Amino acid sequence: MDKKLIKDFPYEYEIVDPEKNEDLVNYFCTPKDEYVTIGPKKYFLLKGYLSGAARIYNFPLSSEDTFVITYPKSGTTLTQELVWLLGNNLDYEKAESININERFPFLEISAMLNIDEFPLTADLKKELKKSLIPVTLEQIEEMPSPRFIKSHLPLSLLPPSLLDTTKVVYIARDPRDVAVSYYKFQQFLNIVPPEKEFKQYWKFFMSNQIMWTPYFEHVLEAWEQRKHPNMLFLFYEDMLKDLTGAVRRVADFYGKTLSDDQVNDLARHLDFDTFKKNKSVNMEDLKKTGIYSSDGAFIRKGKAGGWRNYFDEEMSAQADEWIAKHLSDTDFRLPHC
């Protein structure tokens, strides 16, 4: 397969061979030429990403920017809300009145998804843009400081000066829970039909055919930078165990001093049951666009270790082997739960 280059972007990309792609295309019901791999680590992304790759890589940064970066389904939204509130004088009123996608936009989404191509009515497309992609990549560039930006891209696809310029909070989560959460989310989005089994999804995940994989490459790029003064590396599982502790760690990272009451109020605001009801983060308004199926939820279970209900013995053994292989040369360890 031909490797191709994009202007002002250092990595080659390949369109994933449609002939070798049949399992994936059948499983997800996606067009055959939808996927690309980027660079030597072969990050697996939607073709649309190519239209924004160079712009993202060369994105103009300011020292006041904050990035929350994760592999998807690792607790991004929870962390965004925490970081945004700390950066905005705990303005709960504003947080509740403006959707998180607008306050804290998703850097690569407008390049990756072309909503105009979706099979929806003009009104629904408008609605979808408003709630899912209220701010395009171009508009993020123009946002006033301080900017709060979410990305699922690994550090190597983001601007090389990112860590020396801005603050980055990276959150990691056990990949088995990540895969279950992503599977459930993609079912909710009608991307994975209900009859498709998780077992196959897990194979795609381990073989780096789910968007933004390879998972371990993604996490390890950030882990290697965890001691950089502008990097805060957190585990979702630790946030679940001790939310007030997580609030304090993030506040410290931003040099903010909070009273005990402020810490407790913020932890209560972020608590799963409260969060699930919070319209500015729970994405429930997307249901009316038809993009979500009517059952299920974006804020779903919020637990660690739920993967055990989805893995049979064979899958657990494969997972152990896959995890051990990727951790053999690193001191990164998955959190215990």
CA distance 166 to 153: 16
Which CB sits closer to ligand A3P, 187 or 209?
A: 187
228 is a catalytic site residue: no
Which CB sits closer to ligand A3P, 6 or 272?
A: 272
CA distance 3 to 17: 12
**Least distance between ligand A3P and beta carbon 74 (Å):** 5
Site for ligand A3P in 77-116 (CB under 6 A): 77-78
Judged by CB under 6 A, does residue 272 bind ligand A3P?
yes
**Least distance between ligand A3P and beta carbon 332 (Å):** 19
Query: Using an 8 Å Cβ cutoff, are 258 and 265 in contact?
Result: no
- State how far the alpha carbon of 253 is from the alpha carbons of 50, 152, 228, in Å: 33, 21, 12
SS3 37: strand
- Pick from 73, 176, 248, 326: which binds ligand A3P (CB under 6 A)? 73
Give the N- to C-terminal CA distance of the chain in Å, as an integer: 42
CA distance 65 to 106: 14
Judged by CB under 6 A, does residue 187 bind ligand A3P?
no
Which CB sits closer to ligand A3P, 78 or 168?
A: 78
CA distance 76 to 60: 23
Judged by CB under 6 A, does residue 279 bind ligand A3P?
no
Burial of 162 (0-12, 13-18, 19+ CB in 10 A): buried
Judged by CB under 6 A, does residue 47 bind ligand A3P?
no
Judged by CB under 6 A, does residue 184 bind ligand A3P?
yes
Indicate the helix (H) or strand (E) that contains 170. strand 167-172
- Pick from 48, 52, 72, 175: which binds ligand A3P (CB under 6 A)? 72
Residues composing the chain: 337
**Least distance between ligand A3P and beta carbon 39 (Å):** 23
The span of 65-73, 114-122, 187-195, 255-263 binding ligand A3P (CB under 6 A) equals 65-73
DSSP 157: G
Q: Give CA 67 to chain center in angstroms.
A: 12
CA distance 99 to 150: 14
- Pick from 38, 45, 52, 76: which binds ligand A3P (CB under 6 A)? 76
**Least distance between ligand A3P and beta carbon 302 (Å):** 3
Q: Give CA 292 to chain center in angstroms.
A: 18
Judged by CB under 6 A, does residue 275 bind ligand A3P?
yes
Total residues at the site for ligand A3P (CB under 6 A)? Answer: 19
Structure token digits, residue 22: 């049949």
Site for ligand A3P in 283-302 (CB under 6 A): 299-302
The span of 35-43, 59-67, 72-80, 224-232 binding ligand A3P (CB under 6 A) equals 72-80
Q: Which residues are catalytic?
A: 152
Residues that bind ligand A3P (CB under 6 A): 70, 72-78, 177, 181, 184, 240, 270, 272, 275, 299-302
